[in-house]
Amino acid sequence: MTAQAHKHKDTLWENVKALFYAVLLAVLIRTLWLQPFHIPSGSMIPSLLIGDNLFVSKTAYGYSRYSIPWGGTINYFSGRIWGAEPKLGEVVVFRPVADPNTDFIKRVVGLPGDRVQMKEGLLYINDVVCPVEPDGTMEAVNDTGTSSKVLNAPQFIETLPNGLKHLIIKQAPFGAGTYDNTPVYQVPPGHYFMVGDNRDGSNDARAQGIVGYVPFENLVGRASFIFFSTGGHIALWEIWKWPLTAYYSRIGKVIH
């Protein structure tokens, strides 16, 4: 083998090793620290918009099988390592029991042992109403598959019993939505009750057959901050569409 061939072989091997280490580093970061997450639906409007791309903190609640790629299919281990429980009002990515291979994102409104109920569109936690106050109107791209359809709905500030304030929208009048009047949900030990901020456009824990109560083990991480927002149903790689669609003002927005 000539010196030229040796050099070419060594260069190729170095490139393969560099690629391997880069992929390994990306997997470790995604598994142990920050996982990117894309918002494909409007269930968390107005807090999160379709097209938002955010980072999920994997350190917030410790690690479970769902912290690792393909954890919904492969049972690497049971329970959580270095587990820390979510707080009321945090926005969480999780895997529902009925669909363990799909990531959902909702807000925690019920901790283990809590009683949660909707009455006339108002959220009650342990028989304490979460008051709402009007906060204008929200306009955003809707769940239609095109950016031409826009949701326009009244926006409100909701205050949880721990004092946390966050935005919600109501597309239907209070009391007229599908899940505006529910039975009392008694959150089982080791489980959480998750609801979307788009109260009339979210399949969440109120739909017991779809999401239901979420086990602690099924939490993926806490939504941290938005690193880019393409603006509606635009893929992150469709760079040529960004000038007319991207929401640059949302870059760096911390999620509350």
Q: Is residue 118 part of a domain?
A: yes
Helices (H) and strands (E) in the chain, counts: 2, 14
In the chain, what is the straight-line distance between the N-terminal and C-terminal CA atoms, in Å?
62
Q: Is residue 224 part of a domain?
A: yes
> Do residues 101 and 223 both lie within one domain?
yes
> Do residues 25 and 128 both lie within one domain?
no
> Do residues 81 and 10 both lie within one domain?
no
> Do residues 114 and 5 both lie within one domain?
no
> Do residues 97 and 199 both lie within one domain?
yes
State the total domains in the chain.
2
Q: What is the CA radius of gyration of the chain?
A: 21
- 43 as an active site residue: the answer is yes
> Do residues 51 and 172 both lie within one domain?
yes
> Do residues 79 and 22 both lie within one domain?
no
Catalytic residue among 43, 47, 147, 224: 43
Q: Is residue 255 part of a domain?
A: no
> What is the domain range of residue 103?
38-250
Helices marked H in the chain — which ranges? 3-32, 242-245
| Stretch (H or E) spanning 40 | none
CB 241 within 8 A of CB 230: yes
Query: pTM here?
Result: 0.87
Q: Is residue 85 part of a domain?
A: yes
- Written as six digits, the tokens of 123 are 């959220």
Q: Is residue 256 part of a domain?
A: no
Alpha carbon dihedral 244, 169, 38, 143, in 10-degree steps, equals -70
> Do residues 93 and 9 both lie within one domain?
no
Task: Per residue of the chain (256 residues), give pLDDT as tens.
Answer: 565 555 555 666 666 666 665 555 555 556 656 899 999 999 999 999 999 999 999 999 999 999 888 888 888 899 899 889 999 999 999 999 999 999 999 999 999 999 999 999 999 999 999 999 999 999 999 886 554 578 999 999 999 999 999 999 999 999 999 999 999 999 999 999 999 999 999 999 999 989 999 999 999 999 999 999 998 889 888 999 999 899 999 999 999 9
Q: Is residue 145 part of a domain?
A: yes
> Do residues 196 and 234 both lie within one domain?
yes
Catalytic residue among 58, 64, 67, 106: 106
- Strands laid side by side in the 191-195 sheet: 34-38, 52-57, 219-229, 91-94, 104-110, 191-195, 214-215
Q: What pLDDT, on the 0 to 100 scale, is given for residue 68?
A: 85
> Do residues 110 and 145 both lie within one domain?
yes
Q: Is residue 157 part of a domain?
A: yes
- Written as six digits, the tokens of 9 are 């072989």
CB 96 within 8 A of CB 218: yes
> Do residues 26 and 44 both lie within one domain?
no
